[in-house]
A = this chain, B = another copy of it.
């Protein structure tokens, strides 16, 4: 059996199950999110593998390169990484991708899906090593780095592979067309439908979720036959470098040119993303990062399809609740997780000035804010537990904003941020959230909360009423975009108004979350991440539209 046929057989069941999951949208994953499912020695083995990479030159056999290397990473936990990556000229990467394209394009969609699933399976087996790499580049705490950077990211990759396979299988490979001609013989043609890739794809990774945000585009492009150049964020290279290395190993074993997947590590300030984005060979770009560069890509990379996830302002509307404690705990965790460095973390909490109804009686605006502050303090009271939730701060701009909040720059503090010493990593930059009290209609306040304030600064916005809050939600999503919207209400009328506001402005809504699901988390195979219907992103993980245009179909017809 040829290696690729073996892979097809090995992964057929997973692919089939994934397709079912995408239609059903119930919970499913082939990649366990529980750390111990990977074996008793796995955490230590992963740590050892990670440690062995520190201070070395990262090797990518057969990869284009100038001979130079570059190292641009700094762990938010303060440890020395010192990993140097091979540097290649943009033209060399694109030439290698072009040369690798033909065989990969000629492989069947089933073969490409199987290769992708083997890559994901091998990445999955190394989830603990990946967790270390993600932790020490993004600042995520280990448990989160393991889950979000490991199995959850793999889920999103598999999801893209399954969609890609389904879209490519939509037309039959061959059809017979028989058109009756009355008493004469019918016209009969044989028609072949061949999917062809669009061209070289580029994935531009982000600092906070290099794998989770990188895998959908990587695997969607790969599964549809496009070679992919992976351009990691200079501060989060390792997770994608490991991914690229594993992908190249699997490709080579399956008989393909490993340059189907390459790594564009760059020297500081080299601006490789811009160079790649404007190159005529580059036909697909997946990007996660700032609104400014995302907008630039959408406007300037005219020769490419551009899929962006940028930034937005996420809003919670608090109208009423039947589980006050559950609501506070849910929000406290959502606002603490990874120090608010998620594109999905709520930023503005809109609370009617007159207060809200709860199962514990009416609560005034001040009470809700104070109780939320207390819930956060309670959650993060123990330093060890706090660091396991907060992780570390990913970049200096977030630290600056935290300091500015502490200095009262954004408004009165209901909760002041706190500097925490990490018990294991003395160099780690750990901060607790700041909760700022602001007024919905005060211009100074609006200038702060009506713009993305990435990191652990949250605004408790006093509104005139729930209606006023929903209006503000509408305005915020329309003007600034949003990845998430959240609501708490026991009123069917308010729920209806919230749903209408979110449908009209195009943002996904989480209602009355009080348990173990948080507004900033989405589950692959069930939840959509983003909508592509507001300014925060022009696409979503993952739907047919994310995949269907990464390939085209060429028809060849001839008399039967």
Contacts and interface: CB of A to CB of B under 8 A. Distances in A.
Nearest to A544: B548
A531 B553 contact: yes
A423 to B, nearest CB: 27
24 contacts: A25-B171, A26-B175, A27-B177, A27-B180, A175-B526, A191-B526, A196-B531, A298-B302, A503-B554, A508-B556, A509-B555, A510-B557, A510-B558, A511-B556, A514-B559, A531-B553, A531-B554, A531-B555, A532-B552, A533-B552, A533-B554, A540-B553, A543-B548, A545-B552
Given A528-B555, A544-B544, 15 more contacts: A27-B179, A175-B526, A196-B506, A507-B554, A508-B556, A509-B554, A513-B558, A513-B559, A528-B553, A531-B553, A532-B549, A540-B553, A543-B553, A545-B552, A549-B549
A284 to B, nearest CB: 13
A41 interface: no
A508 B553 CA distance: 8
Contact of A25 (B179, B191, B502, B507): B191
Interface in A491-515: 499, 502-504, 506-515
Given A187-B516, A191-B527, A172 B532 contact: no
B26 A176 contact: yes
A557 B509 contact: yes
Contacts of A528: 193, 553, 555
A25 B172 contact: yes
A178 interface: yes
Interface in A159-194: 167, 170-172, 175-181, 187, 189, 191, 193-194
Contact of A523 (B23, B179, B509, B532): B179
A198 B532 CA distance: 9
Given A172-B24, A175-B24, A516-B187, A558 B511 contact: yes
B517 A189 contact: yes
A299 interface: yes
Q: Is the interface of A mostly helix, strand, loop or mixed?
A: mixed
Contacts of A187: 515-517
Contacts of A511: 556-559
Contacts of A558: 510-513
Contact of A508 (B26, B167, B531, B555): B555
Interface string A360-400: 00000000000000000000000000000000000000000
Contacts of A177: 25-27, 523, 526
Contacts of A503: 194, 196, 554
A196 B508 CA distance: 11
A506 B552 contact: yes
Best-surrounded residue of A175, A548, A552, A559 (most CB of chain B within 10 A): A552
B298 A299 contact: no
A196 to B, nearest CB: 6
B531 A552 contact: yes
A178 B26 contact: yes
A179 B540 CA distance: 23
A215 to B, nearest CB: 20
Contacts of A510: 557-558
Nearest to A517: B187
Contact of A198 (B167, B194, B517, B533): B533
A517 B185 CA distance: 13
Given A191-B527, A515-B559, A559-B513, A554 B502 contact: yes
A186 to B, nearest CB: 8
A553 to B, nearest CB: 6
Contact of A533 (B171, B196, B512, B557): B196
B556 A502 contact: yes
- The 8 A-B pairs of least Cβ separation, nearest first, read A25-B175, A533-B552, A511-B558, A545-B548, A545-B549, A27-B179, A544-B548, A508-B555
Contacts of A27: 177-180
A352 B528 CA distance: 56
Given A25-B172, A27-B179, A517-B187, A302 B299 contact: yes
Interface in A129-180: 167, 170-172, 175-180
A320 B179 CA distance: 27
A316 B544 CA distance: 35
Contacts of A302: 298-299
A556 B485 CA distance: 9
A516 B186 CA distance: 10
A177 B181 CA distance: 53
A544 to B, nearest CB: 4
A514 B560 CA distance: 12
